[in-house]
Amino acid sequence: MGIRERAEADARRILNNKTSGKGLDITVTDPTGASHSFVGWQNDIAELIDPDTQDYVSGRLVNVSLAITDLVTAGLEIPEGEPDPNKRPWVVEYTDLWGTPLKYAVARSVPDRGLGIVVLYLEVYA
Amino acid sequence: MTIAALIDKYDNYELVRNEIAAILLAETSSQQALATAEGKDPTLWAFDVYLERFNPWERYINDRTEKTPIVNVWYDSDTTDLGASELISRQKHDGIFHIDCYGRGISRSDGGAGHVPGDRDAVLEAQRVTRLVRNIIMSSTYTYLNMQGVVWRRYVQNRMIFQPSDNQRPVQQVMAGRLTLAVEYNETSPQYEGDTLELISAEVSRADDGKVYFTAEYDVT
């Protein structure tokens, strides 16, 4: 196993670690409506939004990180933001620390194909 | 010598700014009532009005569905029009006021096989509120912004929709439109009132032949 494969395996193991790590259950629903369960990381932090008025407003930056190998194994492509309103977006669901189920659409996908991780930036999906 | 009276008043630019906000607040309520009377969804005419603020978005951090647009009225600058001013008591100012209209978009299912994209929803919301605000402010009802005698005229100098910075992708889709409102108005200032040195009474009379006589009485002792 080369260093590249080892790095990918380590990253995947870290992402999938629910017992002593930061992993949590994440459900990804593809545009066909099929749902798939994964374990990955999640971030939900505050940030500032500038609508370019020079006046910053409070916002939240939410993303999840998944192992690309897990997606490929499940027969999925790497999720991406869906620009076509005639199609369903990729949907990501998980439960926060306080038991609240949260549902988001994928707004932007940032894959790292060298390390085998994709970070999905999310937007509120109602 | 100093100014004799306490300066305890607002300048007119402040009153104009406040009046713009008051008009918008009154009209959003009125329009919602009219919409209800016509059987339409009144929430489409609803927006919250703020003065010199930009952080009311705090409430959207935890509320995933709240979409009520936000309108922020703020004063930018003004310049003095010397050609229409006199330098003692009254100056005409050409003021710039910005009315920022924030729209929040929420990505959602369209009920079928597609979805409503949040980014487009935010743009359309910002444009919709900007449209409402422009129609209110430029209505002939408010030609002088309820301040006739102070306001000379008002007009929308510029209308623009901002492009959001895209270095990150927050969960809230936010877009803003800005109406730049030019308002011309008078500004006044405290005036010097001279002391009375001496009272003089005078009488002007005209004789039968048309000659005018001026008679004054004053103490010369």
Assigned token pair, B155:
């007009």
Average predicted confidence (pLDDT) for chain A: 91
Q: Is the pLDDT of residue A50 over 60?
A: yes
The predicted structure's pLDDT at residue B163: 63
**Integer Cα distance of B151 and B78 in angstroms:** 13
Give pTM, 2 decimals: 0.78
Task: Render pLDDT for B160-193 as a digit per residue (tens, 0 to 9).
Answer: 987 655 555 566 778 889 999 999 999 999 998 8
Q: How confident is the model at residue B57 (pLDDT cuts 50, 70, 90)?
A: low
Tell me which residue has tokens 């994709």. A118
**Integer Cα distance of B218 and B221 in angstroms:** 9
The predicted structure's pLDDT at residue A53: 64
B167 at interface of A, judged by CB pairs closer than 8 A: no
Task: Render pLDDT for A4-26 as a digit per residue (tens, 0 to 9).
Answer: 999 999 999 999 999 999 999 99
2.40.50, 2.30.110, 2.60.120, 1.20.120: which CATH number matches A3-124?
Answer: 2.30.110
Chain A residues with a Cβ under 8 Å from any Cβ in chain B: 46-47, 49-53, 55-62, 82-89, 104-105, 107-108, 121-126
Whether residues A88 and B115 touch (CB distance < 8 A) is answered with: yes
Angle (deg, nearest 10), helices B118-137 and B12-37: 110
**Residues from chain A contacting residue B118 (CB–CB below 8 Å):** 105, 107, 123-125
Name B149's Cβ contacts closer than 8 Å, sequence gap at least 6: none
Type of residue found at A76: L
Note the ipTM here: 0.75
The predicted structure's pLDDT at residue B112: 87
Whether residues A53 and B162 touch (CB distance < 8 A) is answered with: yes
Shortest alpha-carbon distance between residue A9 and chain B (Å): 28
**Integer Cα distance of B9 and A16 in angstroms:** 66
Range in A52-61, B17-26, B31-40 the model is least confident about: A52-61
Q: How confident is the model at residue A51 (pLDDT cuts 50, 70, 90)?
A: low
Task: Render pLDDT for B87-146 as a digit per residue (tens, 0 to 9).
Answer: 899 999 999 999 999 888 888 999 888 999 888 898 999 999 999 999 999 999 999 999
The predicted structure's pLDDT at residue B165: 57
Coil vs helix vs strand at B43: helix
Q: CA torsion sign, A90 to A94 to A96 to A100?
A: positive
